[in-house]
């Protein structure tokens, strides 16, 4: 008797699982950066166009394919064509490599979350040096938040060659993060569905609280106005459109096999067209919502730093010229400076080199993305708020739920093909497979807790998923439209769900989206080739800032291996299937 495939308890769980998977850390730390760099408010135009033209069709394709075939990624693509099982294998490899490094972010979020329960927050003050007369030198040169991130959290080494030892604090947090993932994926959709309520909805609660708090902060409007003022000339820059397309593509999490896995647990009559539109719109709305919060925080931080800078200049002036304390304020600073320059020219010229030029625009212009934004900039803003412990706990809790939600999707992408395979599931129960996977992943990801771990993290983050996913999704689209047949698929979909396949989706699947992906693919390739040798940012403890260095050759080889390992699965599996069929046909021919 065939065991019935497990299903979501209700369609809402499926929807929330998809939302919690696609709304991840990229919405919080990549979209605001892109918005700021590529024209502020006017970036929304290419973003929304790409959403409709590229994001929604590809998302619908994956959900429909998964729901129709009712198997994980490998089984699905093998059903479409026996030679295309490699697409599923490639998806699994990419998902595996991504899961390895992605959970490190959750480990860091745990570390910061646990450290938020102290007064004062450990990243708000610099630790003292040996004779207690001043602060640690590295902390003085950088800032206390940077010191806490680079020294206390990562204990980063000066370059990628100095590997260093495993740091036990992040390692403990990493083990906890993997245990959390194991706990959530233990029973398959039963547990994932329930956890999805939490991981999908909690980030929005926190974002709303932060929105209210952020908008009421002093100087928030500076940030909002500066970031959202549209710079329409950026629309002519091709990089704007390319980045919009890339952001939509990676933000939705296409090509990993997670969406196929989630949709395979659906009832066949589920209306996945409606769900596609909901998920993609919610994802984009979350990005915009998160960037409003981020920009108000930026504005607060920039205004705070600007006022600090002014206060330092004022202090310098009244100390040098013995003016009465309190007479020089931010409003009359310029007049006082002119007066002093005219009255005491020699002394003023002595003081002038020490006076910093304070500018609100230059503070606002510092655009940061990635871990720097989440762990340095935000913590810097949080430490200046009242009741900073509460805001810190809320913020890192939100980062955790965002990260865990995406991790669940990733793990589902790897687990579903494994549990679908009759060979493996006959020997091992589902729980043991999950446990083994989490254990293996945990062991490998301890690599990211060594002193040079953050550099390896950046390598994985930049190279593992980019080219491979583009190729995978391209092959997927071509496979469904041309190998399986668009008309046949449309008819099956209509029979299954009851709603006909719109001409709009057909046109996009067959022509527009593949062309877009090919364009993106070529852009990335040319970018890599033209930029010559690849470089990275290393932390220099003596100077207290980041410096650019070149990757050594063995690291370049590893990067090439990472990219190739997933792409090569597609032709290899096709070749393997071809050879096996030849052998079987030859064998049966000799028997007959």
Instruction: Point out which residues bind other proteins (CB under 8 A).
Output: 110-111, 114-115, 117-118, 125, 127-128, 132-135, 172-173, 176, 179-180, 182-183, 186-187, 191, 318-319, 322-326, 429, 431
Task: Determine if residue 65 is labeled as part of a ligand binding site.
Answer: no
Q: Residue 128 or residue 225: which is nearer to other proteins going by CB?
A: 128
Query: Is there a contact between 253 and 259 (Cβ–Cβ < 8 Å)?
Result: yes
Q: Which residues contact 486 (CB under 8 A, 6 or more apart)?
A: 480, 506, 509, 510
Task: Determine if residue 406 is labeled as part of a ligand binding site.
Answer: yes
Least Å from the CB of residue 235 to other proteins: 47
Q: Residue 216 or residue 319: which is nearer to other proteins going by CB?
A: 319
- Using DSSP, state whether 545 is helix, strand or coil: strand
Task: Determine if residue 415 is labeled as part of a ligand binding site.
Answer: no
Quick one: how far is CA 24 from the chain centroid? 6
Least Å from the CB of residue 434 to other proteins: 10
Q: Which residues contact 156 (CB under 8 A, 6 or more apart)?
A: 150, 451, 452, 454, 455, 539
Task: Determine if residue 251 is labeled as part of a ligand binding site.
Answer: yes
- Using DSSP, state whether 586 is helix, strand or coil: helix
Q: Residue 176 or residue 510: which is nearer to other proteins going by CB?
A: 176
Name the nearest CA neighbour of 454 among 158, 154, 170, 163.
154
Task: Determine if residue 470 is labeled as part of a ligand binding site.
Answer: no
Least Å from the CB of residue 152 to other proteins: 11
- Torsional sign, CA 141, 142, 143, 149: negative
Task: Determine if residue 283 is labeled as part of a ligand binding site.
Answer: yes
Query: Is there a contact between 80 and 540 (Cβ–Cβ < 8 Å)?
Result: no
Least Å from the CB of residue 126 to other proteins: 10
Q: Residue 183 or residue 277: which is nearer to other proteins going by CB?
A: 183
Least Å from the CB of residue 190 to other proteins: 9
Q: Residue 318 or residue 558: which is nearer to other proteins going by CB?
A: 318
Query: Is there a contact between 373 and 399 (Cβ–Cβ < 8 Å)?
Result: no
Least Å from the CB of residue 341 to other proteins: 19
Q: Is the preceding omega at residue 120 within 30 degrees of 0, hence cis?
A: yes
Least Å from the CB of residue 353 to other proteins: 20
C-alpha distance from residue 28 to each of 33, 35, 294 (Å): 9, 12, 8
Cross-strand bridge partners of residue 450: 166
Phi and psi of 467, rounded to 5°? -65, -40
The length of the chain, given as a count of residues = 592
Instruction: Say which residue the tokens 């390895």 belong to.
Output: 100
Q: Residue 404 or residue 517: which is nearer to other proteins going by CB?
A: 404
Q: Residue 114 or residue 344: which is nearer to other proteins going by CB?
A: 114
What is the chain's alpha carbon radius of gyration, rounded to the nearest angstrom? 27
- Please enumerate, by residue number, every residue annotated as part of a binding site for Na(+): 23, 27, 251, 283, 402, 406
């Amino acid at each position: 008797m065939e065991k019935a495939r497990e299903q979501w308890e209700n369609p809402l769980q499926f929807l929330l699982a998809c939302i919690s998977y696609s709304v991840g850390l990229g919405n919080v730390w990549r979209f605001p950066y892109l918005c700021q760099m590529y024209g502020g408010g006017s970036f929304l135009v290419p973003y929304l166009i790409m959403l409709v033209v590229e994001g929604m069709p590809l998302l619908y394709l994956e959900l429909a394919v998964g729901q129709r075939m009712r198997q994980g990624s490998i089984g699905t693509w093998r059903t479409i064509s026996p030679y295309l099982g490699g697409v599923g294998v490639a998806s699994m490899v990419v998902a595996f490599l991504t899961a390895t490094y992605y959970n490190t972010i959750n480990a860091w979020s745990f570390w910061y979350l646990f450290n938020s329960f102290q007064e004062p927050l450990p990243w708000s003050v610099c630790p003292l040096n040996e004779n207690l007369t001043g602060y640690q030198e590295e902390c003085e040169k950088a800032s206390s938040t940077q010191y806490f991130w680079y020294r206390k959290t990562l204990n980063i080494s000066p370059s990628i060659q100095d590997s260093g030892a495993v740091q036990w604090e992040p390692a403990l947090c990493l083990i906890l993060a993997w245990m959390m993932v194991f706990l959530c994926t233990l029973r398959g959709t039963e547990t994932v569905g329930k956890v999805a309520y939490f991981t999908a909805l909690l980030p929005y609660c926190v974002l709303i609280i932060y929105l209210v708090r952020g908008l009421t902060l002093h100087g928030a409007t500076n940030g909002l106005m500066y970031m959202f003022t549209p710079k329409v000339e950026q629309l002519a820059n091709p990089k704007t459109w390319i980045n919009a397309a890339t952001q939509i593509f990676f933000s939705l999490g296409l090509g990993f096999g997670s969406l196929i896995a989630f949709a395979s647990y659906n009832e066949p009559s589920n209306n996945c067209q409606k769900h596609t539109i909901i998920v993609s719109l919610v994802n984009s709305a979350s990005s915009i919502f998160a960037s409003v919060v981020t920009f108000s925080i930026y504005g607060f931080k920039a205004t705070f730093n600007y006022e600090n800078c002014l206060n330092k200049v004022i202090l310098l002036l009244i100390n040098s010229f013995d003016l009465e304390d309190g007479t020089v304020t931010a409003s009359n600073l310029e007049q006082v400076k002119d007066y002093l320059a005219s009255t005491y020219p020699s002394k003023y010229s002595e003081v002038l080199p020490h006076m910093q030029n304070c500018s609100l625009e230059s503070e606002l212009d510092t655009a940061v993305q990635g871990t720097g934004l989440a762990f340095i900039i935000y913590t810097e803003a949080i430490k200046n708020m009242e009741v900073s412990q509460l805001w810190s706990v809320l913020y890192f809790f939100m980062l955790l739920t965002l990260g865990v939600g995406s991790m669940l999707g990733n793990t589902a992408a790897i687990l579903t093909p494994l549990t679908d395979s009759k060979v493996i599931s006959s020997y091992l129960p589902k729980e043991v497979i999950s446990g083994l996977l989490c254990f293996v992943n945990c062991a490998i990801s301890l690599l990211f807790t060594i002193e040079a771990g953050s550099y390896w993290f950046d390598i994985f983050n930049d190279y593992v998923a980019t080219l491979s996913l583009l190729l995978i999704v391209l092959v997927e689209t071509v496979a469904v439209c041309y190998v399986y047949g668009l008309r046949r698929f449309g008819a099956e979909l209509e029979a299954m769900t009851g709603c006909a396949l719109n001409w709009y989706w057909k046109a996009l699947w067959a022509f527009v989206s593949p062309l877009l992906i090919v364009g993106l693919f070529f852009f990335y390739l040319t970018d890599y080739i033209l930029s010559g040798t690849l470089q990275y940012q290393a932390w220099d403890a003596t100077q207290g800032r980041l410096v650019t260095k070149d990757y050594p050759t063995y690291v370049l080889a590893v990067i090439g291996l990472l990219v190739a390992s997933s792409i090569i699965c597609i032709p290899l599996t096709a070749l393997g299937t071809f050879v096996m069929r030849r052998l079987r046909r030859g064998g049966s021919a000799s028997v007959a």
